[in-house]
Chain A
Amino acid sequence: MIAKMILRGREYEVKPGMALADALKKNNIVPESVIATRNGEMITDDEILRAGDVIQLIAVISGGNISCDSHL
């Protein structure tokens, strides 16, 4: 049984026994740009993924609020 990561609806299959940070890198996901949760609980980058895990990845980057920076 594999582990699974989900980011914005896209699924990534991961071999169990791999650390989260390695799984992210293997799938070209920059660890700094996501937060991972398992069963609603946040997990750290060194967490080892287990068979059957479903890891929800929450994207952290937003681009909407940096234009309010200067005066008129």
Chain B
Amino acid sequence: MISELLINAFLVTIMLSIAIALIKTRTVIFTVILTSAYSLVAALMFITLDAVDVAFTEASVGAGISTILFLAAMAYLPQTEEESISSEFIPVLSCIILGGILIWCSFDLPEIGQLTAPIHQHVAPEYIKGSKEDIGIPNIVTSVLASYRGYDTFGETIVVFTAGVAVLALLEKKNTTKKNKSQPKQKIRKNA
């Protein structure tokens, strides 16, 4: 059991190092690769935490499709990130304060894997007991997703459809302004 937790701690530390590398890098291609690696290590962590469905969704959607989207967008964008002129003091300070508060609160959280934790007490046992008779398939995650919470999944498809329509509307070619900083074309944008 302790080995399982050790593997977990190791993987999550790898994720921390990838995130720190993401802060350091200023090259767009490295950013995309590091994001993909981050998702992949997260998928590994989901396997060790018993969430196999989430793991293969994260590996295919988070590490696959997201990376393809980033690479496709990257082809039209500047390849390096400029150094910021403004100070980063206030964002760093607010992040440190918020993180400190969260870590302080984490001492009240139950340890990982406790059977007595509140999350395992209320409705979860009912789903585990009842899903075989109600739905008739062995995978509880599937039966909750597609049957008990079918309306949620329907709403999710609506969200994805709306996002797709919005992307198409945004990328529609209206003006011929392509990397042109001249004044008249910006006036067109203002008046439109």
Q: Do A and B bind each other?
A: no
